[in-house]
Structure 1
Amino acid sequence: MRLHLSVLALLATPAMAENAPRVLADIGPVHSLVAMVMEGVGEPSLVVPPGTSPHDMALRPSDAAALTEADLIVWTGPVMLPWLDTAIGSLAPEARILTLLETEGWEPLILGARADLADHDHEDHDDHDDHGEHEDHEDHDDHAHAGSHDHEGDDHGHDGHHDHAHGVPGEIDPHAWLDPAVAAVWVGAIAGALSDLDPAHAETYRSNAEAAQARLTELAADLRARMAPLGDRRFLAGHDAYAYFERASGLSSAGSVADFTGAPPSPATIAALRDTALSGGASCLLLDSETDPAWATTLGEGADLRTAMADPEGVFLEPGPDLYPALIEGLAAALEDCLGG
């Protein structure tokens, strides 16, 4: 069963209103939600352009000008994009700011609150003399894979792919857009901020928000139904970014290569993840653009571990109101194929 999305067919492109507010959104999923609410009034601008990871972003002169000229900036918050926090403070002191992670009406998840393989030291793996396949993990600090694991191509060392941190323990997990129920609440907050800024179009914002919330509610229900046949099958992830999607879909991960701190995994964590794959505790490794694909070999050697690619930030999707449903659809399809294969 594929996700069924009710999309109204537009017979003509609606004319944009004169003097529409200048609105800036930080990342693709947030931009998509803002675009849903602004439809028929104006189009928001996007800080992080398509094809660019938010973690690799460097502000261009045009980006600085857009921040300076913005009437409203809608963003996740400093936990997700600390570099943008500094830019907003210096370049957009007069703009109205809507920080979505600070809105009410939804249940945040807390960084470090859940216990998975990436959060534990797994000291029992340090002296696994009866597990020859793990002996090489003792000297694994830079993931060079020396010793008994002769992984072809491992000389790259898994470097350069997990240097992005998302806060510290106790802060809100910033990946909340991956739960459509949260996105529906955010749409309401976006409509409220736009109506305060632009009362002349408040009714349009309200109507658009109601339509978007109905669409997102349907998306959430279809996602849960679609993932239900996968039962208790679990997956490993390149980094710990999917807790909200797990809550929305009913799936669960069995651990991640990199945790929310962005630190490289310890030898004990690598050994534990391999044990999970070898024992059948996880049958899928969910990779993304931030994860070195060589981890599939490292963790999956000798195991029935399939791989799938995900785009949780919509980096490779076309910006606009349809990006958000496409993002959730793509993530669902990747896990459905990987876990159900």
Structure 2
Amino acid sequence: MQFSPIKRTLQAVLLLVASAAAGAEPPEILTSIKPLQLIAQELTEGVTEVDVLLKPGSSPHSHSLKPSDARKLKSADVIFWVGPSMEAFLPKILGGLKDTKSVAMMEAHGINLRSMEEDDNHIHDDHGHAHDHDEYDPHIWLSTDNARVMAKAMVKTLVSVDPANKKQYEKNLEVFGQRLNQADEDNLVKVKTAGTRPFFVFHNAYGYLEEQYGFQVAGFFTTNPDYQPGANHLVQLQEKLQKAGSACIFREPQFQPAYIDRLSEGLDIEVGVLDPLAEDIEPGSDSYARFINSMVDTITDCLQEPLPESLLGSSAG
């Protein structure tokens, strides 16, 4: 059978398009912080590597944009970030990037936003409308329910810029959900069987984790990790620590304020480290679940009441 010149031309064009699509470079994906990188890397597994803007030791609350950061942002095809109330340094430069798709996770459809007011109930946003985000806790990645929402939003964006890998992204999303289901099942058991020691955290970043698994933080040292808490707050916190008896305190890797040692001096306090920015977790398969599991393990391990010294002595003999 012979094809007409028009059909042959059309066939050649289709082959060129298919060939170009098959050999197209995957998009360059950038996230603002490590926890978002963990999620995005699982979703792009088998397609591309995801880079992160803030390196270990950097605080998204107070980061100053460097020339190297600006170059990374300008070369990215897609940028996933939390929102203006977390990365205050980003909105201005993102507004000038015409060829880059930036997606704020606090705007994801269906994300659960908790009020910053301790006594207020959290807010469910099912509409994806803009908010005054300063009213809401931006540490949204510490909820596995929110991680599912963010992953779905990420895949929607990835498919829009890279439709050739749609099936792979959607397959990765399904696997990601299965891993989170298992993590939730395991972590709920850990929390249910954990001890009852009160615990205190460095700053009020853990509300989503509390809500997800039923933890209850007894107190926090500061609302902003980059500033010294007020004297009145520290006095009240010291009273809480004294009343708590045996307790746990969790600081964070980037911050080692001397006032934690001062307030816990002479008390039955165990000091540990919680890392809400996942500095020690390598991106890859099940990295987000490993991150959440490590947070839960750190807390529940410390919540176990220590054995009395008399029992420790007898068991040693």
Q: TM-score, normalised by structure 2?
A: 0.78
Q: In the alignment, is residue 100 of structure 1 matched against residue 105 of structure 2?
A: yes
Counterparts of 1:241-256 in structure 2, within 5 Å, are 241-256=205-220
Counterparts of 1:1-341 in structure 2, within 5 Å, are 18-55=24-61, 57-90=63-96, 92-114=97-119, 171-230=135-194, 232-260=196-224, 263-280=227-244, 283-340=247-304, 341=306
C-alpha change, 1:17 and 1:55, in structure 2 (3 Å) is: farther
In 1, Cα distance between equivalents of 2:136 and 2:288? 21
- Number of aligned residues: 274
Please say which of residues 18-27 and 284-293 is displaced more in the overlay. Answer: 284-293
Identity percentage of aligned residues: 30
In 1, Cα distance between equivalents of 2:63 and 2:303? 32
- Name the SS of the counterpart of 1:252 in structure 2: coil
| Offset, 1:55 | 4.2
Letter in 2 for 1:24: L
| Offset, 1:326 | 2.8
In 2, Cα distance between equivalents of 1:193 and 1:89? 18
- Name the SS of the counterpart of 2:89 in structure 1: helix
In 2, Cα distance between equivalents of 1:321 and 1:72? 21
Letter in 1 for 2:267: A
In 2, Cα distance between equivalents of 1:290 and 1:282? 25
In 2, Cα distance between equivalents of 1:183 and 1:315? 18
| Offset, 1:232 | 4.7
In 2, Cα distance between equivalents of 1:53 and 1:182? 21
| Offset, 1:51 | 4.2
Are the equivalent residues in 2 in contact too, given 1:110–1:170 (CA < 8 A)? Answer: no
RMSD of equivalent CA atoms: 2.5
| Offset, 1:243 | 0.5
Structure 2 residues without counterparts, runs of 5 or longer? 1-21, 121-130, 307-317
- Name the SS of the counterpart of 2:112 in structure 1: coil
C-alpha change, 1:254 and 1:238, in structure 2 (3 Å) is: same
Please say which of residues 42-51 and 171-180 is displaced more in the overlay. Answer: 42-51
Letter in 2 for 1:206: E
In 1, Cα distance between equivalents of 2:119 and 2:219? 10
| Offset, 1:302 | 3.3
Are the equivalent residues in 2 in contact too, given 1:284–1:306 (CA < 8 A)? Answer: yes
Are the equivalent residues in 1 in contact too, given 2:142–2:208 (CA < 8 A)? Answer: yes
In 2, Cα distance between equivalents of 1:68 and 1:23? 11
Deviations 1:262-294 (A, max 9, x none): 553222221221111111277111100343343
| Offset, 1:298 | 2.1
| Offset, 1:261 | 8.2
Letter in 2 for 1:196: S
Are the equivalent residues in 1 in contact too, given 2:78–2:101 (CA < 8 A)? Answer: yes
In 1, Cα distance between equivalents of 2:211 and 2:197? 14
- Name the SS of the counterpart of 1:214 in structure 2: helix
Structure 1 residues without counterparts, runs of 5 or longer? 1-15, 116-166
Letter in 1 for 2:288: Y
Please say which of residues 171-180 and 227-236 is displaced more in the overlay. Answer: 227-236
| Offset, 1:20 | 0.5
Are the equivalent residues in 2 in contact too, given 1:50–1:317 (CA < 8 A)? Answer: no
| Offset, 1:313 | 0.6
Letter in 2 for 1:73: I
Q: TM-score, normalised by structure 1?
A: 0.73
Structure with greater contact order relative to length (CA < 8 Å, sep ≥ 6): 1
| Offset, 1:246 | 0.8
